[in-house]
Amino acid sequence: MRIGIVGATGAVGQEIITLLSERNFNLESIRLFASPKSVGKKIKYLKENLIVEKIKQNSFKDLDILFFSAGSSISKKYAKIAQKNGCYVIDNSSAFRLNKNVPLVVPEINSETLKTNTRLISNPNCTTIISLMAIKPLMDLCEIKRVVATSFQSVSGAGNTGIDELIKDTKAAIHKKKFKNKVFDRNISFNVIPKIGDFESNLFTQEEMKLQNESRKILSNKRINLTATTVRVPVIRSHSISLNIEFTRKVNLKNIINALKEFKGIKVQDDLDPNLYPTPHDSSNIDDCIAGRIRIDYSQKNTISLWVVGDQIRKGAALNAVQIAEALRDKIR
């Protein structure tokens, strides 16, 4: 396999490089592309020093799989060219996610939608992936009517510049100095910001609508209703989502917990022991999402509440993309 990564110096690009080496992807070659300011940088991959290249129209010859993680505009500009060159493109941007000809894939959930003749595959939104890692096993247990999701999203969802801004803003706040925010609409240090993405005409944000629209596509279920409030919190890594899930019939707590435990890619950390529940610190830099605070909701019949955390750079982005590449590799062989 000859791999290329577009956006190789970003938070997700870097994580893809880490994962490819961790997982022994068995590469023949790897090429890195990034924006002009990063061109010429050296990045270590195993024992090699790779040099970051400029993206050009003819960059994509002799590559089998290309990861795009440099924003929608770059994906829109180059993904089609890469496909025409015979590459499989795994796109982390939102550019093609709702395009009906483009599979939107979480390998544990809908890998059957990957076909060898489809050369463009979208990687879903991070909060959507992490939420669905908990929702899918429950949906297999019993039909879901509605989900109320409230997210606690870390700053690395906005890339390395988001981490940088949180740290600088926090240092300034501790020293009682002013800090002019650039990445986030408001100062994020010691604050929470209840808006991610622009507002849509229905007053929900783009990020909130992704949960509804992408989930329905990934789950192949247009009857499931998901409503969200997505909030940026001063956490460096890992998103958390509080989920309130209404089923169409009564569910049993033990079955819920077992369904989560048996699902690949999620573990359960739940007990009355005061310290057994997952926080973003617990899921950072690991592959699995973690569910906890699982309880029957007394306020409405057939309803439960739970809490799920996941590393949004790993499972929410880079890991999911690499898993798609692995599934493709296995199909192409």
* Site for a copy of itself, rule CB under 8 A: 146, 148, 150, 152, 166-167, 170-171, 174, 185-187, 190-195, 198-199, 202-204, 212, 225-227, 229, 231, 233-236, 240, 242, 244, 272, 274-275, 277-281, 292-300, 303, 305, 307
Distance (Å, whole) CA 26 – CA 32: 17
Examine the residue annotation and report whether 142 is marked as an active-site residue of this protein: no
Examine the residue annotation and report whether 87 is marked as an active-site residue of this protein: no
At 164, is the secondary structure helix, strand, or coil? helix
* Beta strands 239-247; 144-153: pairing state: antiparallel
CB of 233 to a copy of itself, least distance (A): 6
Cβ–Cβ < 8 Å for 95, 72: yes
Helices 206-218 and 126-141, packing angle to 10 deg: 40
CB nearer to a copy of itself: pick between 141 and 296: 296
CB nearer to a copy of itself: pick between 28 and 273: 273
At 57, is the secondary structure helix, strand, or coil? coil
* Catalytic residue, candidates 126, 142, 175, 281: 126
CB nearer to a copy of itself: pick between 60 and 307: 307
CB of 320 to a copy of itself, least distance (A): 22
CB of 46 to a copy of itself, least distance (A): 26
CB nearer to a copy of itself: pick between 32 and 245: 245
The CB-side HSE value for 136 (13 A sphere, CA atoms) comes to 25
Cβ–Cβ < 8 Å for 146, 246: yes
- Greatest CA separation for the chain: 60
Cross-strand pairs, 239: 310
CB of 2 to a copy of itself, least distance (A): 38
Q: Which positions are catalytic?
A: 126, 239
